[in-house]
Amino acid sequence: MTKYFYAAVLFAFLSLFAKVHAADSASVYLYLFKSGKPLPQVEISADGAQSIASDKDGYARMQLDPGAHHLSFRQRGQELLELDLPLSETENIQLIITFFSYGQKPRVEIESSNAARGKQLAASEKKPEALGKGFLEGEVTSSETKKPIAGAQVFISGLANELTTDQQGKFKAEVPVGEYSISVLHSDFSTQIKDKVPVVADATTTQPFAMTPRGLELPEYVVLEPHIGGSLASIIEEQRTDSAVSNVLGAEQITRNGDSDAASALRRVTGLTLVGGKFVFIRGLGERYSTTLLNGISVPSPDPTRRVVPLDLFPTSVLESVLIQKSYSVDRQAEFAGGTVELRTRGIPDEFFAEIDYQTGFNDGTTFTKGLRYKGGDLDFLGADDGARALPGSLQNALSGGRVLRPQTPFNPDGFTREQLDGFGRDLSGVYDVNEKNINPDQRISAALGDAYEFGDFGFGFTSSLRWSDTWDTQDEILNTFAVNGVGANGAARLDPIIENNMTRTERETQTNGYLGMEGHYTEHHKLFARAIILRQTFDEARITEGFSDADATDIRRTRLRYIENKLIVGQWGGEHALNRIGNINLLDGIDWLGDIKLDWQLSRANSGREAPDEREFRFDRIGDDFFFSRRADSNSSTFSSLNDDDMSYRLDLTIPFNFHKNLTGALSSGFIDRLLTRESAIRRFSFAPSGALSRDSDILGRNSVEAILSDENIGTQGFVLNETTRATDNFTAEQKLFSYYGQGDVTLFERLRLTGGVRVEDNDQTVSTFQLFNPNNAPIESTLAQVDLLPSAAATLFITDKQQLRFSYSETLSRPDFRELSPAPFTDPNNDKETVGNPDLQQAEVTSYDVRWEYYFSGTENLTLGWFRKELTNPIETILLPGPAGLLTLQNAATAEIFGYEAEILKHLEFISPKLANFFVGGNYTWSQSEIELLPANLQTQTTNFRPLQGHSKYIINAQVGYDNPDNGITSTLLYNTIGKRITEVGSLGAPDKYEQPFDQLDFVFRYKFPEHYSVAFNARNLLDDTVTVRQGDRVTRQFKRGREFRLSFKLEF
């Protein structure tokens, strides 16, 4: 019932927002100064009723109804000013009031979004024309996104006519010689004024404006902290001005939500679901149908079986924002299908900043309780193995050059002697025993430093950060497997258990990350940047599984020790240039219809890797009341695996904006990406096999310690001998060469209709070579995918009013198989421990997408959107069970699939209900969708149903939040709720129904308090409902566990 309650709460919020007032109120922003300094604690009353006080920065804000008002300003009982102020509907007005000593009257400066008021003010000055005329031009951009601001009102002192910026954010006017004051107003940005702008005869003066989004406005000359991008106002502005259907998640929202990695942050976004804590499904399509970019460039994945990067690898501390683009545009890579997730790293600050943060955490059911541990290395707390798990030096030397561990025989004279093999066995046999130990609290330490410098027309800045975290998680799970055995009383398949297990595991996750971003610029038209990011993520797990299997006569107990190091190292270099600008000289001066020709280029070198040294598994069988070390073939194993990806990418984009008339503006763009991705994957497997009398001794086999069983004295022909069990298909290399280029046009007609469209061409050549380590002379198994694709997209945006717009889009994209999926060699998927065989006949999936979305913007920080989408898939790729007793999985193309649905999103402050609720906000999003896949006859050999939903698709997704954010008292708090509908985790086969993960409800709470100086404290409570994760097959439970509640407390020092 919980999910229905929260759904009702969300519906009530949506209903409340629908009942807006017939006449919108006006916003009054007041900035009070005295002798050049902010004037705090001034009591401001409107009409003798509503009363507020200016804060420490001299700032106050009021919401008033349209009409005439009387404002009174008092401080400590002394009357400072009386002011009459008429207001119109939806007007945004800014009052800058300067008070003086010695009885001088206050100076009141007024700037307003009301055009009539602006004209009255602007008409008060006249400029002489006797000295001739010149041109005054400017470009208005957002200070955060650097994108142009269209539709801004420009008032030039002495001119009666009003100017409006075009789609490139530009304006130009011919004016008499003299000095001018220029005011730029936009409802979503704070007003900006430039005084004493000179104009000389027969010349052009250029004056740029970088406007701050509403919600970030500060009194002039008052700097509280350096600007760091990713504010709520900036990301809503980007979402509004983007030509595609998109969502943007900014650093401000991530901080409010208390999420520590990109994966957990993205589950708050409309239409996104998080699977396995790592991968994001966009609009119900699996992770294979999405692409992850880092600052616009693809990066390789450390996952050996997936192309997509696990998003929990990226800490939110290095991110400024995340763009989720849901409708395709040809300037993006065509492997789009579901969508693209672009991670943007932190930008350069406006001035010096430094911060240090420490966090500690408590996990319900883990912290201060007994967990499973084993002896590791001295550097495990840093997520780095110190050699404790490394392949012994004797074995490394013996296996160098591709040699195989085989005994010396008359037929194999180059093999190893028995004495050598026993020595290798004693060197390899080491740590196996698992103990119960108390688990310590989670910890995290992070630091960041940045600064900016200006030297005339030149500037330089940098941002850097370091983070280390150490977290623990203990879980108890139920794991069951069922098989069909006839028909039940209700006519459905009767499921009987064939495996019933209880599993306990303790996992330690350690992350060590570093980031450095540098940027230099010459004027505002030329910029060079360099970014470096190092991400290391280590999982250290001890697991014990015990239970029944119909393949065994007795209960069995399996133990696994697994240590995985994932890494991603990325270096990016690039530049942004206006080709027609040399210093302050415009080579296109006089060609009024042509804007700055922009060239953006980027070079990226990335390396990802996965090291899993000495993954140990062993088994005990129950005999009577005791467990004994198993003598079966799967008794024990030690596996050493590594994967290494190298990615070299080049990207170049050219944009030529034009402005033939205010009714015809736009831009032409083109570019290319050249990518070379290579992969090397290697696995070596070993096990101890029973050989002599000692391996049958019940006193030895009955010992609780594997270290005592596989001790030095028991290694040899009389006990256990070391064998290499590496498969012939365990090693492969792969390569992808992808060259793509595009052309795109973007045109705005009559300032009401924006049309965007183009075509992308992608030439892909993908090869996987699986070679036999033991037989290097044998020809490798080659799998290739080579194809050239032509992919169009088209979009239209109708600007209904200044606050609302309607979008339409159409596109054709694709999804290619991963390297491993094209190879017929079997492999074990590390995410589900399933044996999987690739399919060299796989074809790429093709996707046709349609989108419609209506958007309404209450203000620069508030919005409401309603959308519809549809996707049609040809040759979708699905995982299925192969016929036969082995239980192998493989991948096949189905015939077709489709998915369609609706999305709604809202973010709104509550001041429209009462001014006392001005610091409260509510938000939420809801997605409903439906999917169906049609199988081919070849798919139906094992799968139960021909028509079913797509794997991983949830019919509904709900996110809701209510929060309080008051910069004056430093308090921010948010209550967040998330739930999703049931989804298929594994397709049913051999008559058994599909496995469905049931709906899961999560409630989180975040509280943050910023002290007046440099300190802040935050408290984060996650998963307060502690709902149960359940996977059902029919009416049977196949998996069940609880994640536990999490509580975190952090302290931050910043300058």
Q: Are residue 268 and residue 207 in the same domain, yes or no?
A: no
Which residues are CB-contacts of 1025 (< 8 A; sequence separation ≥ 6)?
Answer: 2, 1001, 1002, 1003
Could you tell me if 799 and 663 are in contact, meaning their C-beta atoms sit under 8 angstroms apart? no
CATH number of domain containing 34: 2.60.40.10
Specify whether the CB–CB gap between 740 and 334 falls below 8 A. Answer: yes
Q: Which of 540, 512, 263 has its CA nearest to residue 388?
A: 540
Residue whose entry in the numeric block shows the structure tokens 């001739």: 132
On whether both 82 and 131 belong to a single domain, the answer is no
- Quick one: pLDDT at residue 629? 95
Quick one: which H or E segment has residue 422? helix 418-428
Write out the H or E segment, with its range, that includes residue 698: helix 698-701
CATH number of the domain within which 147 lies: 2.60.40.1120
DSSP 519-560: EEEETTTEEEEEEEEEEEEEEEEEEEEEEEETTSSS-EEEEE
The pLDDT assigned to 158 comes to: 62
For 221-255, the DSSP string reads: T---S---S--HHHHHHHHHH-SS-EEEEEHHHHH
Non-local CB neighbours of 724 within 8 Å, separated by 6+ positions: 404, 405, 406, 684, 685, 686
Indicate the pLDDT class of residue 544, thresholds 50, 70 and 90. very high
User: Could you tell me if 137 and 105 lie in one domain?
Assistant: no
Residue 217 has pLDDT above 60, yes or no: no
Does residue 515 surpass a pLDDT of 50?
yes
Average pLDDT over residues 430-449: 94
Cα dist from 966 to 33, 132, 885, 963, 1052, whole Å: 22, 52, 63, 10, 18
pLDDT at 218: 35
CA-based nearest residue to 43, from 92, 68, 69, 80: 80
DSSP secondary structure code for residue 118 in this structure: H
Q: What are phi and psi of 834, to 5 degrees?
A: -100, 140
Distance of CA 643 to the CA centre of its chain: 24
Residue 75: which pLDDT band, with cuts at 50, 70 and 90?
confident
Tokens found for residue 860? 């620069």
Q: Please check whether residues 871 and 984 belong to one and the same domain.
A: yes
Cβ 405 vs Cβ 724: under 8 Å = yes
Per-residue pLDDT of 151-169, as tens digits, reads 888 877 666 566 888 878 8
CA pair distance 820, 681, nearest whole angstrom: 10
Range of the domain at 36: 24-112
Claim to verify: residue 146 and residue 281 sit in the same structural domain: no
Average pLDDT for residues 23-49, to the nearest whole number?
80
Confidence of residue 198 (pLDDT cuts 50, 70, 90): confident
740 within a domain of the structure (yes/no):
yes
Q: For residues 960, 965, 971 and 976, what is the CA-based torsion angle, rounded to 10 degrees?
A: 10
- Residues 203 and 277 grouped into a single domain: no
- Residue given tokens 């290697």 in the structure block: 682
Its pTM stands at 0.79
Residue 863, domain CATH: 2.40.170.20
Here the tokens at position 642 are: 């590594």
352 Cα distance to chain centroid: 27
742-770 pLDDT, tens digit per residue, is: 999 999 999 899 999 999 999 999 998 88
d(CA 306, CA 300): 10
Q: How much is the pLDDT for 778?
A: 79
Q: Are residues 95 and 124 in the same domain?
A: no
Asked if residues 971 and 1003 have their Cβ atoms less than 8 Å apart, the reply is no
Residues 297 and 192 grouped into a single domain: no
Indicate which CATH number applies to the domain containing 282.
2.170.130.10
1009: closest CA among 983, 982, 973?
973
Structure tokens at 540: 């250290």
> Is the per-residue pLDDT at 538 higher than 90?
yes
Q: In a 3-state reduction of DSSP, which class is residue 676?
A: strand
Rg from Cα positions in the chain = 33
Query: Is residue 365 predicted with pLDDT exceeding 60?
Result: yes
Q: Flag whether 784 is in a domain.
A: yes
Q: Does residue 952 form part of some domain?
A: yes
DSSP secondary-structure letter at 387? Answer: S
Per DSSP, the three-state class of 380 is helix
Give how far Cα 39 sits from Cα of 24, 80, 105, 257, 406, Å. 30, 12, 16, 33, 85
CB count in 10 Å sphere of residue 888: 14
Alpha carbons 912 and 917: distance in angstroms, whole number: 8
State residue 13 phi and psi, 5-degree precision.
Answer: -60, -45
Kind and range of the H or E run holding 399: helix 393-399
* For residue 977, pLDDT beyond 50: yes
pLDDT of residue 12: 40
DSSP letter, residue 427? H
Alpha carbons 820 and 808: distance in angstroms, whole number: 37
The residues that bridge with 764 in the sheet, in sequence order, are 738, 787
973 plus 897 within the same structural domain: yes
- Confirm whether 698 is domain-assigned: no
Identify whether 226 is part of a domain.
no
Residues 668/656, Cβ–Cβ less than 8 Å: yes
859 in Cβ contact with 921 (< 8 Å) = no
Q: In this structure, are 779 and 820 located in the same domain?
A: yes
Domain boundary among 351, 382, 398: 351
Final residue in a domain of this structure, among 112, 143, 159 = 112
Name the pairing type of β-strands 204-206 and 877-881. unpaired
* Within a domain: 808: yes
pLDDT tens-digit series, residues 265-287 = 887 888 777 777 777 788 777 77
CA angle in degrees (0–180, nearest 5) for 297-298-303: 155
Q: Which of 355, 318, 676 lies closest to 531, judged by CA?
A: 318
Q: 43 and 140: one domain?
A: no
- Do 882 and 998 reside in the same domain of the chain? yes
Q: Which long-range contacts (CB under 8 A, 24 or more apart) does 581-588 make?
A: 581/523, 581/525, 581/526, 583/457, 583/522, 583/523, 584/206, 584/457, 584/523, 586/204, 586/206
What's the pLDDT band for 720 if we cut at 50, 70, 90? Answer: very high
Of 69, 87, 112, which marks where a domain is finished? 112
**pLDDT per residue over 334-361, tens digit each?**
988 788 889 999 888 888 999 999 999 9
- 150, with CB counted inside 10 A (0-12, 13-18, 19+), is buried
What average pLDDT score do residues 927-954 get?
82
In-domain check, residue 380: no
Give the residue-averaged pLDDT of 994-1008: 93
DSSP for 49-99, written as a single string:
TEEEE--TTSEEEEEE-SEEEEEEEEETTEEEEEEEEEE-TT-EEEEEEEE
pLDDT digits (tens, 9 = 90+) for 376-403: 999 999 999 999 999 999 999 998 877 8
Reported residue count of the chain is 1055
Q: Are strands 50-53 and 43-46 parallel, antiparallel or unpaired?
A: antiparallel
* DSSP secondary structure code for residue 424 in this structure: H
Residue 719 lies in a domain: no
Q: How many domains does the chain have?
A: 4
Name the token pair of 1040. Answer: 């069940």
Q: What is the mean pLDDT of residues 780-788?
A: 87
